[in-house]
């Protein structure tokens, strides 16, 4: 069988693909250019500090006053009737969430070079927002994994009894990786990031995050203070990535007082039309 030489269209697609991929990476790592980025940094730092103080105090209070009582009320670990909770909790697993976001991002990267004009601009806007979601969840979980290793808090009933102060710092084992909760980190990072991009999604996304942390408590995977700490890490991580994007004028704008707001993105109707063109033979 004779191999057919690449057509001009194939060459053009490959060239546009690599050009768009490189441009996407370059804009993420370029120097910040927004004139109001200093105001945004100060505002974001204040908010992160207040969140850390308030939620940090809540974590300590929960450890002393609530954790042992709460885990003592939960069903035994491995209870067969909780099979549906074990399925539901996986919707907050970092690996699954990152794979889902990564697949969507790859689909946009593959489709965009074949589009022209407005359609390509629409996909590029969606791609920027998917990058923000992916990096928010990824950064928050990197921070959470480091904290898990350093803190080394035992999961509920590790050691045979309810003990809120069972620590083995730098243990590096799953049994001593309770604080912060990785699922809570993922759920709240995703909830904050989606709400930052599409504010109308704020309520359903935070309902999703609360459901995920509830499953972690019911399954005796974490203490209440673990999931609250995870929520803090997730929100602060997503805030940091939002500032990074806003300082480079990617998907966000910075107002005069330093408030970061989402730029208008492609509407669902326009995305449907572009998806139809991308999937057409």
How high is the mean pLDDT in each 10-residue block of the chain (281 residues)? 50 74 84 92 95 96 97 94 97 97 91 74 87 97 97 94 94 95 98 96 97 97 98 97 95 94 72 54 48
Q: Are 269 and 223 in contact (CB under 8 A)?
A: no
Q: Are 117 and 253 in contact (CB under 8 A)?
A: no
The span from the CA of 163 to the CA of 280, in Å, is: 59
pLDDT of res. 25? 83
Q: What are phi and psi of 66, to 5 degrees?
A: -125, -40
Hey, which residues does 260 pair with through a beta bridge? 254
Residue 261: how many other CB atoms lie within 10 Å:
12
pLDDT of res. 120? 72
pLDDT of res. 1? 46
pLDDT of res. 114? 75
Q: Which residues contact 162 (CB under 8 A, 6 or more apart)?
A: 68, 71, 72, 156
The span from the CA of 79 to the CA of 77, in Å, is: 6
Q: Is the dihedral of CA 238, 240, 242, 248 positive or negative?
A: negative
């Amino acid at each position: 069988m004779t191999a057919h030489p690449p057509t001009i269209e194939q060459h053009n697609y490959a060239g546009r693909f690599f050009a768009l991929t490189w441009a996407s990476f370059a804009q993420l790592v370029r120097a910040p250019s927004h004139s109001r980025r200093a105001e945004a940094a100060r505002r974001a730092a204040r908010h992160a500090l207040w969140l850390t103080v308030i939620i940090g105090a809540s974590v300590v209070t929960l450890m002393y006053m609530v954790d042992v009582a709460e885990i003592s009320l939960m069903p035994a670990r491995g209870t067969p009737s909780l099979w549906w909770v074990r399925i539901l909790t996986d919707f907050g697993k970092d690996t699954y969430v990152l794979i889902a976001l990564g697949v969507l991002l790859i689909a946009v990267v593959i489709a965009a070079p074949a589009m022209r004009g407005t359609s390509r601009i629409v996909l590029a806007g969606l791609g920027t927002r998917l990058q923000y979601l992916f990096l928010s969840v990824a950064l928050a979980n990197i921070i959470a994994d480091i904290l898990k290793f350093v803190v080394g808090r035992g999961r509920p009933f590790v050691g045979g009894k309810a003990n809120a102060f069972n620590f083995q710092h730098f243990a590096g084992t799953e049994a001593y990786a309770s604080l912060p909760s990785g699922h809570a980190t993922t759920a709240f990072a995703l909830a904050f990031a989606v709400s930052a991009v599409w504010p109308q999604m704020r309520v359903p996304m935070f309902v999703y995050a609360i459901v995920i942390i509830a499953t972690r408590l019911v399954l005796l995977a974490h203490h209440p203070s673990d999931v609250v700490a995870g929520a803090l890490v997730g929100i602060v991580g997503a805030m940091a990535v939002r500032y990074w994007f806003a300082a480079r004028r990617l998907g966000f704008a910075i107002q005069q007082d330093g408030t970061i707001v989402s730029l208008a993105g492609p509407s669902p109707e326009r995305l449907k039309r572009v998806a139809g063109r991308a999937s057409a033979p």
